[in-house]
Structure 1
Amino acid sequence: MGLPLLLRVLPLIALRSSASGDTTAAIGTFADVNTECKTCPHSLCPNILAYEQGESANVTCWTRGTRIIDTTLWLRSTSDCYVTEYDLNDNITDYTSALPYCGPDSEDEVLTLEDATLKYKTECRICPSISCDTVTFLKEETDVELTCWTPDGQVIIDDPYWMRTTNNCYVAQKNLYSKPDITNLDPCGPIPYLEIEKHFNENGTSDIDKRDAAPEPEVFAPSYLINATVGEDYALCRSCAKETCRVKRRYMFDQEVWLQCLVNTNGTWWSETTDFCYVKNSDFWQSPEGDYYRNPLCEYFEEPGTGPGDGDD
Structure 2
Amino acid sequence: MPCSGRRSPLLGLLPLVLLPIVAFADVKPYITTSAEFNTECKTCPHSLCTNTAVYETNDSFNATCWARGTKIVDGNIWLKSVAGCYVTQYDVLEYSGDYTTDLEYCGKASEVENLTELDATLAYKTECNICPTIDCDNAAYLPEDTDLTLTCWTDQGSPILNNPYWYKTANNCYVAETGFHSSPERISLDNCGPIPYLELEKHFNENGTSDIDRRAPLPQPIEDGVKYLINVTVGEDHAYCRKCAEESCRIQEAYPFNSWVVLQCLVETNGTWWSESTDFCYVKNSDFWESPEGDNYKMPLCDDFPDPDGNKARR
| Coarse TM-score class (shorter-chain normalised) | 0.7 to 0.9
Provide Cα deviations, 1:181-216, integer angstroms capped at 9, x if missing partner: 212111100000001011111323311111235233
The residue that corresponds to 1:193 in the other structure is 197
The residue that corresponds to 2:4 in the other structure is none
Instruction: Note if contact 2:120-2:184 (Cα within 8 Å) is conserved in structure 1.
Output: yes
Larger radius of gyration: 2
Supply the distance in 2 between the matched residues of 1:286 and 1:213 (Cα, whole angstroms).
34
Deviation, 1:291, is: 6.5
Correspondence 1:234 to 2:277: no
Deviation, 1:5, is: 9.8
Provide Cα deviations, 1:85-120, integer angstroms capped at 9, x if missing partner: 000111343111110111111111111100000011
Deviation, 1:139, is: 0.4
Deviation, 1:264, is: 1.2
Task: List runs of 5+ in structure 1 lacking aligned partners.
Answer: 8-23, 309-313
The answer to which of 153-162 and 163-172 deviates more is 153-162
- The verdict on how the C-alpha distance between 1:235 and 1:303 changes in structure 2, with shifts beyond 3 A counting, is closer
| Counterpart pick for 1:279 among 279, 283, 288 | 283
Provide Cα deviations, 1:37-78, integer angstroms capped at 9, x if missing partner: 001100000000011111111110001000000110001111
SS at match of 1:147: strand
Instruction: Note if contact 1:133-1:216 (Cα within 8 Å) is conserved in structure 2.
Output: no
Correspondence 1:209 to 2:213: yes
The residue that corresponds to 1:297 in the other structure is 301
> What pairs up with 1:9-20 in 2 under 5 angstroms?
none
Supply the distance in 2 between the matched residues of 1:217 and 1:211 (Cα, whole angstroms).
14
| Counterpart pick for 2:82 among 78, 81, 100 | 78
The residue that corresponds to 2:165 in the other structure is 161
- How many residues end up aligned between the 2 structures? 289
SS at match of 1:183: helix
Instruction: Note if contact 1:225-1:259 (Cα within 8 Å) is conserved in structure 2.
Output: yes
| Counterpart pick for 1:46 among 46, 50, 59 | 50
Instruction: Note if contact 1:196-1:213 (Cα within 8 Å) is conserved in structure 2.
Output: no
Provide Cα deviations, 1:232-287, integer angstroms capped at 9, x if missing partner: 22211111111111111111222221110011112211100111111001111222
Task: List runs of 5+ in structure 2 lacking aligned partners.
Answer: 1-22
Supply the distance in 2 between the matched residues of 1:194 and 1:275 (Cα, whole angstroms).
33
The residue that corresponds to 1:246 in the other structure is 250
Correspondence 1:36 to 2:46: no
Structure 1 residue ranges (4+ consecutive) displaced by more than 6 angstroms after TM superposition: 3-7
Supply the distance in 2 between the matched residues of 1:171 and 1:192 (Cα, whole angstroms).
16
Supply the distance in 1 between the matched residues of 2:222 and 2:130 (Cα, whole angstroms).
17
Supply the distance in 2 between the matched residues of 1:38 and 1:71 (Cα, whole angstroms).
17
The residue that corresponds to 2:139 in the other structure is 135
Letter of the 2:263 counterpart: L
Deviation, 1:218, is: 5.8
Correspondence 1:222 to 2:226: yes
- The verdict on how the C-alpha distance between 1:303 and 1:238 changes in structure 2, with shifts beyond 3 A counting, is closer
Instruction: Note if contact 2:235-2:258 (Cα within 8 Å) is conserved in structure 1.
Output: yes
Supply the distance in 2 between the matched residues of 1:5 and 1:89 (Cα, whole angstroms).
25
Letter of the 2:202 counterpart: K
Given the two structures, how large is their TM-score scaled by the length of structure 1? 0.87
Q: What percent identity do the matched residue pairs reach?
A: 59
Supply the distance in 1 between the matched residues of 2:295 and 2:160 (Cα, whole angstroms).
19
Supply the distance in 1 between the matched residues of 2:119 and 2:201 (Cα, whole angstroms).
29
Provide Cα deviations, 1:7-39, integer angstroms capped at 9, x if missing partner: 7xxxxxxxxxxxxxxxx7111111001000001
The answer to which of 47-56 and 199-208 deviates more is 199-208
Supply the distance in 2 between the matched residues of 1:178 and 1:34 (Cα, whole angstroms).
33
- The verdict on how the C-alpha distance between 1:303 and 1:75 changes in structure 2, with shifts beyond 3 A counting, is farther
Supply the distance in 2 between the matched residues of 1:159 and 1:116 (Cα, whole angstroms).
18
Instruction: Note if contact 1:63-1:75 (Cα within 8 Å) is conserved in structure 2.
Output: yes
SS at match of 2:110: helix
